[in-house]
Amino acid sequence: MKNYIPTINISALIKNNFNTKKANQTIKQIEKACVNIGFFQITGHGINLKKIKKTCDVGNKFFNSSKINKQKLSPKKWNKKNKNLYRGYFPNDVNGKEGLDIGDLKVTKNYSAKIKNQYIEHLDLSKSIDKSSIKILEKYFDNLFSLSETLFKSIIKLYKKNPDISKMAFSRLKTLSTLRFNYYPNQTKPVEISKQDGVALGCETHVDSGVFTVLYQDKKGGLQVQNRKTKKWHDVPFNKKALVVNTGRALEYLSKGKFKATNHRVLWNKSKRLSVPFFFEPSYDFKMNKSYFSSKKHGNSGQIYEKFLNQSLKKFIEYQR
């Protein structure tokens, strides 16, 4: 059962040289995992384990702070004094878990005001989080963005195109990528009972919206992936050296269904649990064109990603704001 989720050492890709024999072998492993399963674990990703631990410590410290402190970062729905609608902290009475959604930390108040996009919000983390912790979050966002882009470039390489076309889809400041902290408290009851197999869940069955999700889960585990053919559920085992990667709806769309978004869920766990997903999402104005990976000219058609995301978020209760 544990071997259902492959582990891939991606160290050959980290220097962004996709032309070596080892890099090509690694890319083929990623392709196979994406096509057959939609989930894989990566080692050799170049992100220091101490940095990951420090990032988790920032999250735990925040969630263990007072309700007043946390609500300073809440969207308007939960804190009338705030203007942010999309980014920020949401309480656990919404969907059984607390969360903190952080966008690109390079976005300034001025840039956000100038660009006037519903998802590009400046979140003033200093209201609730100390300076040194914010620096840790900035660094982690940068690292995860670069890592995700490397994974995306490896997909572009599969189509024998120049990996630099990733810039068309992902532009820092315009990206809707999100660093999210999920904090599962001592849940007194499950948020959902699976209709399929009657299992109690701490997070509902769903697929992700973006291109890739890169996740660090703590040793409590609980994440499960559905086999698309048999519909059976498989545990994603905890590996302290690995990050978990899964494909999302945007990649499924751009690849014309080759890389499908995969159902996953979290089991109900009566003890506290932290997970830190990074949702790698295109720029808000990126045109979702199905010929993106093909040799055809891209043209200027396609739904912009902002609208694509908007549709996707409607199924998540915590985004009904």
Q: How many domains does one find in the chain? A: 1
Residue 299 CB-density burial (10 A; 0-12 exposed, 13-18 middle, 19+ buried): exposed
Decide: pTM greater than 0.75.
yes
| pLDDT tens digits along 75-99 | 998 999 998 888 999 887 766 678 8
Q: Let me know: does 75 contact 85? Beta carbons within 8 Å.
A: yes
Which range of residues forms the domain containing residue 118? 2-319
Does the pLDDT of residue 122 top 70, yes or no?
Answer: yes
Distance CA 159, CA 93 (A): 45
Does the pLDDT of residue 1 top 50, yes or no?
Answer: no
Res 318: pLDDT:
54
Q: Let me know: does 37 contact 69? Beta carbons within 8 Å.
A: no
Q: Residue 205 to residues 36, 231, 260: CA-CA distances in angstroms?
A: 19, 12, 15
| pLDDT tens digits along 142-153 | 999 999 999 999
Res 198: pLDDT:
63
| pLDDT tens digits along 191-242 | 667 667 666 665 667 788 899 999 998 776 678 888 888 888 888 888 889 9
Residues 6+ apart with CB under 8 A from 132: none
CATH of the domain at 95: 2.60.120.330
Residue 307 neighbours by CB distance under 10 Å: 11
Read off the amino acid at residue 43.
T
